Chains A and B, each alone.
Chain A
Amino acid sequence: MRRVSATLVALLCLAWAVPVLAQQAFPKPKEYRIERGMPKQAEACIQCHRQETPGIFTDWAMSRHASANITCLDCHQAQETDKDVSQAHAKYYDRKDLPFGSREYYIPVAAAVSPKDCSRCHPDESAQYAKSKHANTIEIMWKIDPWLNKGMNSEEERKAGCYVCHGTILKTDKDGNLDRATWPNVGVGRLNLDGSLGSCTSCHTRHRFSVMEARKPEACGQCHLGPDHPQIEIYMESKHGDIYTAFKDTYNWNTAGGAWTPGTDYRAPTCAACHMSGSGKVMGTHDVTERLSWETQAPLTVRPSDFAAFPAKTDWKAERDKMKAVCLQCHAKSWTDGHYEAFDKVVQEYNEVYYKPAKAKFDELVQKGLVSTEKYFDEEIEVEFYELWHHEGRRARMGAMMMAPDYSWWHGFYECKKRYNKFMEMADHLLSTGTKAYIYPNYPGMGGSTEKPPQIFNKKP
């Protein structure tokens, strides 16, 4: 009996092990036969890169681009005169030891592909994107951000943090290679060497360029997270996010643009479903600034057209109607109107009860010379004021907008109250005693450039 059991166990092990071992012994690279016509230069790219960078090749081979016979060349081909033509890549064509090392396959290519490149096939999407706060985020952050304008963080901190999401200003070094201080980068507002703004691969990652990926909230959550704008956390707390978590396996992520249908293809919306995708009679857009009726990230909540750093060319009433029309695909009118009424009241409460009095107090301190504006964040009270609007003030508003009660209250208004009281106590103490705020003498990690990038600011819009 024992022997029989042992044999059975051994057989079971073998049954499990054989396919696993077989997989390990025979790794199967992605097959791709060039069955449709393409220029010989494009064929050379594919044949060489399936060896050299199989990950990139395989990813592309599984993409919709590959289905449509859109090859490496269609996006990476450059004009000989372009600033970002890769000189290093050009040298491969002179390598006689390589199968495609011949001038007959030579084509100038650039590593960085820009929205302008994408516009050659997707003009409408690129033009809409160009209008958005996404594309123009470098300009926006340099107009309002004290970290940059006062040089309060270092270039390294910026490159590791800010610029990963916001984007770098691409440059080439004297040898014509992409400057390592600016590349690699796929930030949403990257300034490319052709002058276009942004990077489509922020959301449609290379080399799959999937609509499915950008429709999922995690695509947005790469940047929209954390203490200062926890949209992904807010979404996941909301009913929409809960339904997404439970039912996402049943969602139909790959329907054609314009055909993604609430209730049919998805049970609850994702970020993209409300902010970008077509829904009912509302047309889809790549301008994420559309459909907004408040700027809930601004210190004082304002209408998008009044956002001084980058005024939207929209009318908030029309945009709210659009967003409501999206809501109405799944919600009744009373539900939708009720939600917006509650949101407007939250915005008003934040503006009037918290932000305006705190701002008035802060201005008084500055005006009386008790707080120095030479730097920012080097006095405790500046940090207190900053976090009031930049952290919990945003969480309170965004939490209310996107139905996350914990973010609106515990991470939001509750923290606002705490911060407000502390801020006011500090401010009143300074005012009543006429004391200047203590300035941290050795502020760490300063030294980033304070010059607004001329490539963005010195050119005609």
Chain B
Amino acid sequence: MRRYVKPLLLVGLGLLLAFPVFSMTYYTMVRTSTPGFCASCHEIEPAFNAWMTSTHRNNAQGLVADCMDCHLPAPHDTVDFFYKKTLHGMKDVAAHVLHGSGGYDRAENRLAAYADIKDGQCLKCHRNILSIPNNRGAMLAHRAALYPAEGESRTCTDCHRNLVHVDRARYEYKQYAPPYRATGLSTLGTRGAPL
């Protein structure tokens, strides 16, 4: 009997210490996962403001896609999510301290984000993109992206670059907005005119 006392005490102590550590971590994760928290960096404010006016936040369904929904792996990919988020946070703090908010090039970071956002991020919510009977063109293009022909490959952000972070003069609501239109292949038109 006596030989169980020490391990039990240790397990108890472990739980006692781990519980607050885990819940603090969890609480921190939740606290730092809101768009409001992201916008607490000056560098991110314009992106936040654009998101506020976008249809990814304003629609009749009441669905809201937060920063993390697109920019980080899904929280159920716990390890991936945890490390990516921590890494991003550390990188952002370091960049802010080293270069100041003036060192943040929004255009450059926009391109980095397009390259970084995996199709899976979009497809978490937009799962049914092959059946859009009133938009045959989109069906055609989505098929080319999901089942690329030999030698071709397309990502969501190749063609969709006007969804969220567009600087708008007023709030856009999906239910009142003009018909959505993708921007088309970004690889076309890199010459001659800005993106």
Does B179 belong to the interface (CB within 8 Å)? yes
Contact: A193 with B193, CB < 8 Å? yes
Q: A107 near B178 (CB under 8 angstroms)? A: yes
Q: How far is the CA of A192 from the CA of B183 in the complex (A)?
A: 14
A42 (CB) vs chain B CBs: closest residue: B179
Instruction: Given A121-B137, A121-B138, check contact A195 B185 (CB 8 Å).
Output: no
Cβ of B67 under 8 Å from chain A: no
- Cα of A8 to Cα of B150 in the assembled complex, Å: 69
Known: A195-B190, A196-B189. A69 touches B178 (CB 8 A): no
Q: Please determine whether A116 and B184 come into contact, CB atoms closer than 8 angstroms.
A: yes
Contacts known (A77-B178, A127-B187); A122 close to B140, Cβ less than 8 A: yes
A79 CA to B162 CA, complexed, in Å: 9
Q: Which residues of B contact A194 (CB under 8 A)?
A: 184, 188-189, 193
Complex Cα gap A195–B192 (Å): 5
Size of interface on B: residues with Cβ below 8 Å to A? 31
Contact status A77-B181, CB under 8 Å:
yes
Q: How far is the CB of B71 from chain A (nearest CB, A)?
A: 23
What DSSP secondary structure best describes chain A's contact surface? loop
Docked complex Cα distance between A83 and B149 (Å):
33
> Which of B82-90, B92-100, B152-160 lies at the interface?
B152-160
Chain A residue at minimal CB-CB distance from B145: A123
List residues of B (53-85) whose CB comes within 8 Å of A's CBs: none
**B115 close to A (CB within 8 Å):** no
Question: Would you call the interface of chain B mostly helix, strand, loop, or mixed?
Answer: loop
Q: Say how far B138's CB is from chain A's closest CB, in angstroms.
A: 7
Give 1 or 0 for each of A32-48: 1 = CB within 8 Å of chain B CB. Answer: 00001111011000000
State which of A69, A79, A123 has its C-beta within 8 Å of the C-beta of B158.
A123
B190: which A residues are within 8 A, CB to CB? 195, 459-461
Residues of A near B193 (CB, < 8 A) are: 83, 192-195, 455
Q: Which of A42, A69, A70, A192 contacts B189 (CB 8 A)?
A: A192
B181 touches A123 (CB 8 A): no
The answer to whether A195 and B189 have CB atoms under 8 Å apart is yes
Q: Does B191 contact A (CB under 8 A)?
A: yes
Residues of B within 8 A of A77 (CB): 178-179, 181
Partner of B136, one of A68, A116, A119, A195: A68
**Structural contact, A36 and B137, CB atoms closer than 8 A:** no
Kindly state whether residue B141 has any CB partner on chain A within 8 Å: yes
A292 at the interface (CB under 8 A from B): no
List B contacts of A455 (CB < 8 A).
192-193
Binary CB contact string for chain A from 121 to 142 against chain B (1 if under 8 A, 0 otherwise) = 1111011001000000000000
Inter-subunit contact A119/B179 (CB<8 Å): no
Give Cα A192 to B135, complex, Å. 25
Contact of A127 with B152 at beta-carbon distance under 8 Å, contacts A116-B189, A117-B184, A461-B191 already known: yes
Which of A123, A124, A169, A197 has the most chain B CB atoms inside 10 A of its CB?
A: A123
Query: Does A124 lie within 8 Å of B188, measured CB to CB?
Result: no
Assuming A69-B134, A70-B136, what are 8 further A-B pairs, CB within 8 angstroms? A39-B179, A77-B178, A117-B184, A120-B141, A123-B145, A123-B154, A169-B192, A196-B188
